[in-house]
């Protein structure tokens, strides 16, 4: 039978005693001052709070503070002491060993100072979600703020008194239950941090409201789930087109050039530094001047070879009919539209890794409807955040087109210097894709999301030929998503 907090006094004891159980650096007025903003932000993030020390420990851990395994547990109930030790072993030790901890810490450090408490609160909520933790304690926000506004020394004094006070049994039992639930959940959890947390923290400054943040989290989770179903490496198809030299303005982006040899001809900025030993402080003519006049000074020479890479342009054309994909199917954790954005992110990541030898460009085009409106404006904003890393590199664009003909015309024009693939994504049940007559030089495919199980089909010379995922229905819609992602990855290589 779980212990319940019977009133404001028990809630205050629970909060103050929980603050005194912080394991990172131990409770002190300085560390408590840093933890209070994190706790207040977590209070606004979660309906029920975990043991308060979890938020403080997580905040210090992502700030780079090392674990303190020898820190003693304050003298209190034996059950609570044992639960805190289990929390040390199964929660804090797991968090410190997470492979994504460095990425999460870097992303949090890059946030503006006023946003960092919100970032720590987000991390606490994500860790509890990954744990499946349900042992939170409901706390009045007004009471919590009133308690946390006290001087740190007063909070620590009240907390240590509550840990030893016989009348604080209900609060201490509730803390013990919370720690036990954390340790038990951590034993079953696969990972406590992941790419979703790092990605969301990197974009936290640009997110507009909790709804967009939740959509971003779900899209990244979908991308991770789809990526796990893809093989580490796929064999690329034979390429018929020859390599093309890159443009002059792109040369600086590629690892080439540099010093290749030494010559007697060159500019002073390329002078071999050892030649300076011939210079003398005397006002008369020195050996350096003689070697300069005779052309005997040594200069580094650069490799001026031209970078040669094949150009690739991959266009995702998202049609207005995708408004019908804002539904959630049985057996899939996310809406179709969210999984689609996760699929785009997954393919961009994998193709960027697999096609490093090519000059790769991604274009995500949102096509307007017949009235000139953009019904997918919310998805467009989310896509800009998902692809922000590649947009900053200049390898991805998120655009808007008036109609599908404009997308296909631009793709045809790009075939003069690039290999071009276009993926049309639509959820309309009555579409006229089969009547298109695309340029034979453009690889054109349709991702049909009109039903719970998506499938891919090729247009053009093989129009109407069902893709591998269309013939026999898979066992579940999620298997259809993984099959379609694998098929698209293979076709784009």
Q: For 435-464, what is each residue's pLDDT tens digit? A: 677 778 888 999 999 888 998 988 754 444
Task: Delimit the CATH 3.40.50 region(s) of the chain.
Answer: 309-492
Q: How large is the average pLDDT for residues 400-428?
A: 89
Across 405-434, average pLDDT: 84
Please state, in angstroms and rounded to a whole number, the distance separating the CA atoms of residues 167 and 384: 55
| Separation of alpha carbons 11 and 177, rounded Å | 15
Q: Which two tokens stand for residue 12?
A: 């205050």
Among the residues of 134-168, which ranges form H helices? 141-148, 152-164
- Quick check: 308 pLDDT over 90? no
**Residue 169's pLDDT is what?**
80
pLDDT level of residue 471 (50, 70, 90 thresholds): very low
Q: Among 3.40.50, 2.40.50, 3.10.450, 1.20.1050, name the CATH number for the domain at 309-492.
A: 3.40.50
Average pLDDT on 310-323 reads 91
Query: How many whole angstroms separate alpha carbon 234 and alpha carbon 245?
Result: 26
With 0-12 CB in 10 A as exposed, 13-18 as middle and 19+ as buried, what is 473? middle
Q: What is the mean pLDDT of residues 135-162?
A: 87
Query: How much is the pLDDT for 465?
Result: 40
| Across 25-39, 60-74, 329-343, 467-481, least confident range | 467-481
pLDDT of residue 239: 57
In the block, tokens 């805190």 appear at 84
Judged against a pLDDT cut of 70, whether residue 140 lies above it is answered with: yes
When pLDDT is averaged across residues 1-13 and rounded to a whole number, the result is 74
| Closest to 320 measured CA to CA, from 434, 431, 437 | 431
Return the pLDDT at 23: 82
Which of 153-162, 191-200, 205-214, 270-279 shows the lowest per-residue confidence on average (mean pLDDT)? 205-214
Mapped onto helix, strand or coil, the DSSP state of residue 127 is helix
Scanning 230-307, the segments in alpha helix (DSSP H) are 287-294
- Which helix H or strand E contains 11, and what residues bound it? helix 8-19
| 248 band by pLDDT with thresholds 50, 70 and 90 | very low
Residue range 214-238: mean pLDDT, rounded: 85
Q: Is the pLDDT of residue 194 over 70?
A: yes
Which pLDDT score is estimated for 304?
56
Task: State mean pLDDT over 183-197.
Answer: 88
Model confidence at 270, pLDDT cuts 50, 70, 90, reads confident
- pLDDT, position 345: 94
**pLDDT number for residue 418:** 86
Whether residue 423 has pLDDT greater than 90: yes
| DSSP assignment string, 429-493 | SS--GGG----TTEEEEEEE-SSSS-EEEE-GGGTTEEPTTTSS--SSHHHHHHHHHHHHHHHH-
- For residue 146, the surrounding DSSP H or E stretch is helix 141-148
How would residue 243 be classed by pLDDT, with cut points 50, 70 and 90? low
Q: How far is CA 53 from the centre of its chain?
A: 26
Q: Is the pLDDT of residue 209 over 70?
A: yes
Name the helix (H) or strand (E) containing 421.
strand 419-426
Cβ-based neighbours of 319, under 8 Å, separated by 6 or more: 367, 404, 424, 425, 426, 428, 431
pTM above 0.75, yes or no: no
- Please provide the average confidence, as pLDDT, over all residues in the chain: 83
Residue 11: what pLDDT?
Answer: 87
CA 477 to CA 340: how far, in whole Å?
Answer: 13
């Amino acid at each position: 039978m779980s212990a319940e907090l019977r009133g404001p006094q028990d809630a205050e004891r629970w909060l103050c005693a929980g603050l005194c159980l912080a394991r990172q650096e131990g409770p002190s007025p300085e560390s408590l001052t840093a933890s209070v903003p994190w706790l207040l932000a977590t209070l606004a993030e979660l309906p029920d709070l975990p043991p308060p020390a979890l938020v403080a420990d997580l905040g210090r851990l992502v700030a780079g503070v090392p674990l303190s395994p020898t820190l003693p547990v304050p003298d209190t109930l034996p059950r609570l002491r044992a639960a805190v030790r289990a929390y040390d072993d199964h929660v804090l030790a797991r968090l410190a060993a997470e492979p994504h901890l460095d990425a999460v810490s870097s992303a949090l450090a890059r946030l503006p100072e006023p946003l960092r408490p919100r970032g720590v609160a987000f991390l606490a909520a994500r860790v509890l979600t990954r744990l499946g933790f349900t042992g939170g304690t409901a706390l009045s926000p007004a009471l919590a703020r009133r308690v946390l506004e006290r001087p740190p020394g007063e909070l620590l004094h009240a907390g240590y008194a509550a840990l030893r006070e016989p009348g604080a049994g209900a609060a201490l039992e509730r803390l013990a239950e919370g720690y036990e639930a954390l340790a038990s959940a951590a034993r079953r959890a696969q990972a406590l941090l992941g790419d979703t947390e790092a990605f969301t923290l990197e974009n936290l400054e640009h997110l507009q409201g909790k709804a967009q943040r939740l959509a971003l989290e779900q899209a990244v989770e979908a991308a991770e789930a789809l990526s796990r179903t893809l093989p580490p490496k796929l064999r690329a198809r034979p390429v018929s087109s020859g390599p093309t030299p890159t443009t002059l303005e792109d040369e600086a982006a590629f690892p080439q050039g540099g010093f290749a040899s030494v010559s007697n001809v060159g500019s002073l900025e390329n002078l071999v530094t050892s030649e300076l030993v011939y210079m003398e402080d005397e006002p008369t003519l020195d050996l350096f001047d003689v070697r300069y006049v005779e052309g005997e000074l040594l200069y580094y020479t650069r490799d001026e070879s031209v970078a040669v890479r094949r150009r690739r342009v991959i266009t995702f054309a998202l049609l207005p009919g995708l408004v019908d994909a804002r539904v959630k199917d049985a057996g899939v954790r996310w809406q179709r539209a969210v999984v689609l954005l996760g699929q785009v992110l997954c393919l961009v990541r994998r193709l960027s890794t697999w096609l490093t030898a090519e000059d790769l460009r991604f274009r995500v085009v949102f096509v307007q409807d017949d009235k000139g409106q953009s019904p997918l404006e919310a998805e467009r904003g989310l896509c800009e955040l998902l692809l922000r890393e590649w947009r900053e590199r200049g390898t991805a664009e998120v655009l808007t087109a008036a109609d599908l003909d404009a997308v296909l015309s631009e793709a045809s024009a790009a075939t003069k210097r690039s290999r071009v693939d276009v993926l049309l994504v639509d959820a309309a049940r009555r579409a006229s894709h089969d009547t298109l007559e695309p340029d034979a030089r453009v690889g054109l495919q349709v991702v049909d999301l009109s039903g719970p199980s998506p499938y891919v089909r090729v247009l053009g010379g093989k129009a109407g030929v069902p893709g591998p995922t269309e013939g026999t229905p898979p066992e579940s819609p999620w298997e259809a998503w993984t099959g379609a992602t694998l098929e698209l990855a293979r076709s784009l290589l």
